[in-house]
């Protein structure tokens, strides 16, 4: 039973759809493009629309788009052209060429910096490696794609990768694991109401149930998928589902329906020029016709399949076609011919075995060479250490001799100098401790003053304003005057509360930094325009007040700067407590900047951040670059220091 529907994505997001969407309309647009950019778009769309209809013609359009994009230095169009041309090769089983184009597309996508499309290309490369039988490489690229999709919260793409990985597991005969993957993907597509994805899951379930074997279930899901693809007019995937249904009918004893479905699959494979799938179907039909005694028809199908498999260098199909021919000739009493075909099939089988063996030997050789090189490095390192040790011993002996000869003359001077250096070190330590104590005292006094001022504003002015509001509402005055006064008072009350929060959030003192950060984010989110998300993990509720305040002020200062200067609209704050340190991470999608410009600045914001860091023994790292979107700031605070303090 054939593997079905490893998902290749439509990456032509830059390609403009024509009004009618038809190939004829696109060709008409190609004759009268508005400009070169419009011409490239139409060429890319023609390549995509024809990829399964006529891959050679599609490739010609794609190569035109690629050449024109490079001439005009249109990188976005160039990467789409590389992908589309790769898909045309993949559709015809030209996997080496497909991989070359897709790897080039991946390199360019990483330079452009589009995470979603980079993940799509990683997925397509995984597909090609899967088709080549390089399963470890396929899983490697699938996992890389899934990691990006999970970061982007793209459930539909996650389900797609789950299906593709299941197909790899099926090749390794881990069928229960495969079914679990398909069911997981099916639940996602059902929740999202994605009919195409649902059909894909049904098709693949039909394929894996064939191998268990559970032919009734295989037939059920294959027919279900065929009907769904026909309803959605997705003709290019029908050959595989029809083939799977025909094989299931054959196993269940319904030979006529089996042939009917297999012949439909053969015709569609011919239409879409699916060489490898076509050779498989013809081999299967040849074996069925041989069983019916129709040797001439069986021989023609097997011979045609052999020719096609040899043309695309599909060795497995070449071997199967020769075995089918051997059985046909044996049925015709042509035992000499049967033996010749069987002998040739064994040569192919031996070649496949030798290739696999050579591959395994190459892997073992690589591992051996790696271990050997590591051992050689270790031995060389040990020899160098021995030489260094001997040299050090010799130098030490010379030094001791010289020291003994000059001890009488130099003893007094050395003792005096040592005493002086010790005094200087103690003085520097005392000064450093004093500076730190002063800095801590200054910041502490500032925080105490802010707390007092915040309490006065919150408790004093808040109550006075509330009383004034009550008094005005009871006076016999004109209603417009009262309404206006009430509105002003409400604004004053809100402003004072905001001032109190900025000076010292009450929630920080009462509930800790976790709740304070969430309230801080909530206030920004309510203003609109910027979205702030807060995540905390394993925070100790007994965190010292000094550390909580310092981390909160660092967050407040950094986020305010992001909002003012970066132009970003997404900010993520994460505070994680590990056994040995606290990690604060702030990420945004704004414009990057030169870190040296920040560290050399004389602004109060950067000074305040450094003062807080010095107080809690923290370190800071900033990952950003001018001209690039996205900045990450990471603060690390050692917990051992925090506990001592």
Domain with 565 in it: 513-644
CATH number at residue 587: 3.30.565.10
The two structure tokens encoding residue 368: 């051996």
CA dist 199 and 235 (Å) reads: 12
Residue whose pair of structure tokens reads 């132009």 in the numeric block: 567
Average pLDDT of the residues in 72-98:
89
Strand pairing class (531-537; 570-577):
parallel
CA dist 100 and 270 (Å) reads: 26
Listed residue (145, 141, 239, 221) closest to 178, CA to CA: 221
Alpha helices in 114-237 (DSSP H): 115-132, 135-152, 155-171, 175-192, 195-211, 215-231
Listed residue (479, 472, 556) closest to 513, CA to CA: 556
Q: What is the pLDDT of residue 249?
A: 96
- Which of residues 141, 156, 172 is at a domain's end? 172
Q: What is the pLDDT of residues 391-450, one digit of tens each?
A: 778 787 787 888 888 878 877 788 888 878 887 887 787 666 646 654 664 565 466 556
The two structure tokens encoding residue 379: 């031995």
Contact, 214 vs 205, CB < 8 A? no
Listed residue (524, 606, 498) closest to 557, CA to CA: 606
Domain-located, residue 517:
yes
Average pLDDT of the residues in 513-517:
84
Residue 382's pLDDT band, with cuts at 50, 70 and 90, is confident
pLDDT > 80? residue 260: yes
Q: What is the pLDDT of residue 14?
A: 29
Query: 628's torsion region: left (phi>0), alpha (psi -120 to 50) or beta?
Result: beta
Quote the pTM value. Answer: 0.44
The percent of residues in the chain predicted with pLDDT above 90, rounded, is 32
Q: What is the pLDDT of residues 541-568, one digit of tens each?
A: 777 777 888 888 899 889 988 888 888 8
Strand pairing class (619-623; 581-591):
unpaired
Average pLDDT, the chain: 80
Domain-located, residue 268:
no
Domain-located, residue 337:
no
Cβ density class 191-214: b for 16+ within 10 Å, e for less? eeebeebbbbbbbbbbbbbbeeeb
CA dist 281 and 238 (Å) reads: 13
Q: Rounded to 10 degrees, what is the CA torsion of 518, 520, 525, 526?
A: 110
The three-state secondary structure class of 125 is helix
CA dist 112 and 127 (Å) reads: 23
> For residues 506 and 59, which has the higher predicted lDDT (pLDDT)?
59
- Tell me which of 78-82, 119-123, 493-497 is least confident: 493-497
pLDDT > 70? residue 501: no
Average pLDDT of the residues in 211-225:
93
Contact, 136 vs 359, CB < 8 A? no
Q: What is the pLDDT of residue 616?
A: 85
Q: What is the pLDDT of residue 167?
A: 83
CB atoms within 10 A of CB 516: 25
Residue whose pair of structure tokens reads 């995937």 in the numeric block: 237
Domain-located, residue 210:
no
Contact, 571 vs 588, CB < 8 A? yes
Q: What is the pLDDT of residue 471?
A: 57
**How far apart are the two ends of the chain, measured CA to CA in Å?**
68
Contact, 272 vs 239, CB < 8 A? yes
> For residues 466 and 359, which has the higher predicted lDDT (pLDDT)?
466
Q: What is the pLDDT of residue 430?
A: 65
pLDDT > 80? residue 607: no
Listed residue (173, 124, 123) closest to 148, CA to CA: 123
The percent of residues in the chain predicted with pLDDT above 70, rounded, is 78
Average pLDDT of the residues in 167-185:
88
pLDDT > 80? residue 374: no
Phi and psi (nearest 5°) for 113? 95, 25
Interacting residues of 318 by C-beta distance below 8 A, sequence separation 6+: 306, 309, 310, 348
> For residues 175 and 412, which has the higher predicted lDDT (pLDDT)?
175
Domain-located, residue 583:
yes
Listed residue (263, 204, 270) closest to 236, CA to CA: 270
> For residues 474 and 436, which has the higher predicted lDDT (pLDDT)?
436
- Which of residues 172, 203, 220 is at a domain's end? 172
Listed residue (330, 326, 289) closest to 306, CA to CA: 326
For the chain, how many structural domains are there in total?
2
Average pLDDT of the residues in 36-44:
87
Domain-located, residue 458:
no
Answer positive or negative: Cα dihedral of 461, 465, 468, 474.
negative
Residue 461's pLDDT band, with cuts at 50, 70 and 90, is low
Contact, 550 vs 538, CB < 8 A? no
- Which of residues 155, 172, 189 is at a domain's end? 172
Interacting residues of 282 by C-beta distance below 8 A, sequence separation 6+: 266, 301, 302, 304, 305, 308, 321
Domain-located, residue 485:
no
Cβ density class 487-506: b for 16+ within 10 Å, e for less? eebeebbeebbeebbebbbb
Q: What is the pLDDT of residue 627?
A: 87
Domain-located, residue 156:
yes
Residue 484's pLDDT band, with cuts at 50, 70 and 90, is low
Residue whose pair of structure tokens reads 């605070």 in the numeric block: 637
CATH number at residue 114: 1.25.40.10
pLDDT > 90? residue 482: no
CA dist 199 and 163 (Å) reads: 12
Q: What is the pLDDT of residue 316?
A: 85
> What radius of gyration do the chain's Cα atoms show?
37
Instruction: Give the bridge partners for 634, in sequence order.
Output: 585, 621
Q: What is the pLDDT of residue 573?
A: 94
DSSP string, 359-423: HHHHHHHHHHHHHHHHHHHHHHHHHHHHHHHHHHHHHHHHHHHHHHHHHHHHHHHHHHHHHHHHH
CB atoms within 10 A of CB 525: 14
**Helix 295-311 vs helix 275-291: crossing angle, to nearest 10:** 160
Residue 386's pLDDT band, with cuts at 50, 70 and 90, is confident
Contact, 631 vs 590, CB < 8 A? yes
Contact, 562 vs 571, CB < 8 A? yes
Residue 301's pLDDT band, with cuts at 50, 70 and 90, is very high
């Amino acid at each position: 039973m054939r593997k079905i529907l490893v998902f290749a994505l439509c990456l032509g997001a830059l390609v403009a759809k024509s009004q009618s969407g038809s190939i004829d309309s696109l060709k008409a647009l190609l004759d009268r493009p508005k400009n070169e950019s419009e011409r490239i778009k139409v060429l890319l769309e023609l390549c995509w629309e024809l990829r399964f209809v006529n891959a050679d013609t599609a490739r010609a359009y794609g190569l035109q788009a690629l050449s024109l994009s490079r001439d005009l230095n249109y990188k976005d169009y160039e990467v789409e052209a590389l992908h589309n041309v790769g898909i045309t090769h993949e559709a015809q089983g030209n996997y080496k060429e497909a991989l070359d184009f897709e790897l080039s597309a991946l390199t360019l996508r990483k330079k452009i910096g589009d995470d979603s499309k980079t993940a799509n290309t990683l997925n397509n490369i995984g597909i090609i490696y899967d088709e080549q039988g390089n399963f470890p490489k396929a899983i490697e690229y699938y996992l890389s794609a899934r990691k990006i999709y999970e970061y982007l919260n793209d459930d539909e793409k996650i389900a797609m990768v789950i299906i593709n990985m299941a197909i790899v597991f099926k090749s390794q005969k881990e069928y229960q694991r495969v079914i679990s993957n398909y069911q997981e993907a099916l639940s996602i597509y059902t929740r999202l109401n994605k009919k195409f994805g649902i059909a894909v899951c049904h098709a693949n379930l039909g394929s894996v149930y064939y191998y268990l074997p559970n032919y009734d279930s295989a037939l059920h899901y294959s027919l279900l998928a065929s009907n769904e693809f026909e309803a959605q007019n997705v003709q290019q995937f029908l050959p595989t589902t029809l083939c799977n249904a025909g094989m299931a009918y054959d196993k269940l004893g319904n030979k006529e329906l089996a042939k009917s479905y297999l012949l439909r699959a053969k015709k569609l494979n011919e239409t879409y020029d699916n060489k490898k799938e076509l050779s498989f179907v013809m081999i299967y039909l040849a074996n069925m016709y041989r069983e019916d005694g129709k040797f001439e028809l069986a021989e023609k199908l097997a011979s045609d399949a052999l020719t096609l498999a040899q043309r695309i260098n599909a060795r497995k199909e070449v071997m199967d076609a020769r075995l089918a021919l051997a059985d046909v000739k044996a049925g015709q009493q042509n035992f000499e011919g049967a033996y010749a075909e069987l002998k040739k099939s064994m040569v192919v089988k031996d070649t496949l075995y030798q290739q696999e063996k050579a591959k395994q030997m190459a892997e073992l050789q690589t591992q051996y060479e790696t271990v050997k090189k590591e051992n050689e490095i270790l031995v060389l390192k040990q020899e160098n250490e021995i030489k260094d040790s001997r040299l050090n011993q010799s130098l030490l002996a010379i030094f001791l001799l010289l020291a003994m000869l000059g001890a009488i003359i130099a003893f007094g001077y050395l003792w005096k100098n040592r005493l002086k250096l010790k005094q200087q070190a103690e003085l520097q330590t005392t000064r450093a401790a004093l500076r730190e104590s002063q800095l801590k005292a200054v910041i502490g006094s500032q925080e105490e003053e802010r707390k007092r001022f915040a309490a006065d504003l919150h408790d004093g002015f808040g109550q006075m304003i509330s009383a004034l509001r009550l008094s005005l509402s009871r006076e016999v005055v004109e209603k417009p005057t009262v309404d206006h006064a009430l509105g002003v008072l409400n604004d004053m009350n809100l402003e004072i509360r905001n001032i109190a929060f900025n000076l010292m959030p009450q929630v920080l003192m009462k509930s800790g930094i976790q709740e304070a950060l969430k309230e801080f984010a909530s206030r920004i989110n309510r203003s609109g325009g910027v979205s702030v998300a807060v995540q905390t993990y394993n925070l100790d509720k007994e965190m010292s007040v000094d550390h909580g305040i310092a981390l909160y002020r660092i967050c407040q200062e950094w986020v305010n700067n992001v909002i003012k200067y970066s132009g970003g609209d997404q900010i993520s704050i994460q505070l994680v407590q590990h056994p040995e340190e606290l990690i604060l991470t702030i990420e945004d999608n704004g414009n990057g900047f030169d870190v040296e410009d920040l560290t050399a600045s004389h602004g109060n914001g950067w000074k305040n951040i450094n003062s807080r860091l010095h107080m809690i023994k923290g370190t800071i790292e900033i990952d950003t670059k001018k001209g690039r979107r996205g900045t990450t700031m990471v603060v690390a605070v050692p917990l051992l220091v925090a506990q001592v303090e």
